[in-house]
């Protein structure tokens, strides 16, 4: 018996999948999403976000809701607005980008995905932290949006930023960078170590 889908004649799931689906090109954001050392729920959320597949209020599945961003109450909700240009989210980005030493003049969500996917391909310690920061902002922005729409709960900008920073700290303290022998050093350099005397972070004005 020979498995013709495989060059070796031996059955494997990989060869069968390639035979049925054909050659698939690797998406440019593969490393940004799947190589990020975050929990699976955050990866799945980011996977949908980079493809603009989340059910934002401009989608048909949310047609029963008024298409006004619940975070700023000023603009229609789209992926570009919600995750990048919203006046509620923009200060969070500025704060985290400053900590992550990530500076750019990008003005829209698609360009940000393109830029980060190309710039953060190498899994250096700094890039891994930037990926954690990126995933955390996206995840907690979506969580806060859903809390307001479906549960009627509203958190302040400062509290959302505190959640983002705490998520970054917890993931780092779990040891995702231990293989790089850099976790504690980077926590100190980025001023991410928790302190009982330090007040919750405040977004810049």
Q: Give the start-to-end residue ranges of the domains of the chain.
A: 25-189
Q: Return averaged pLDDT per consecutive 10 residues of the chain, 205 residues in all.
A: 83 84 80 89 95 90 86 93 93 87 82 90 85 94 95 94 89 64 56 44 47
Q: What local confidence, expressed as pLDDT, does residue 69 receive?
A: 94
User: Taking the complete model, does pTM exceed 0.85, yes or no?
Assistant: no
Q: How far is CA 139 from the centre of its chain?
A: 6
Predicted local confidence at residue 75, as pLDDT: 93
Q: What is the CA radius of gyration of the chain?
A: 20
Position 97 scores a pLDDT of 86
- The whole-number pLDDT of residue 197 equals 35
* pLDDT value, residue 11: 87
pLDDT for residue 14: 82
């Amino acid at each position: 018996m020979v498995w013709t889908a495989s060059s070796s004649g031996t059955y494997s799931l990989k060869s069968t999948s390639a035979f049925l689906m054909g050659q698939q090109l690797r998406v440019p954001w593969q490393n940004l999403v799947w190589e990020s050392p975050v929990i699976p729920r955050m990866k799945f959320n980011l996977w949908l976000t980079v493809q603009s597949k989340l059910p934002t209020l401009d989608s048909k599945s949310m047609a029963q809701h008024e298409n006004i961003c619940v975070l700023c109450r000023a603009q229609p909700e789209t992926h570009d607005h919600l995750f990048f240009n919203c006046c509620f989210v923009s200060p969070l980005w500025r704060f985290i980008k400053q900590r992550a030493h990530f500076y750019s003049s990008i003005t829209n969500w698609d360009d940000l995905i393109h830029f980060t996917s190309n710039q953060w391909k190498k899994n250096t310690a700094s890039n891994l932290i930037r990926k954690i920061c990126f995933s955390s902002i996206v995840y907690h922005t979506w969580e806060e949006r859903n809390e307001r729409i479906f549960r009627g709960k509203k958190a302040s900008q400062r509290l959302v930023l505190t959640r983002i920073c705490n998520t970054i700290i917890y993931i780092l303290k779990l040891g995702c960078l231990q293989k790089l022998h850099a976790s504690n050093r980077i926590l100190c350099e980025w001023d991410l170590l928790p302190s009982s005397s330090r007040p919750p972070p405040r977004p810049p004005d």
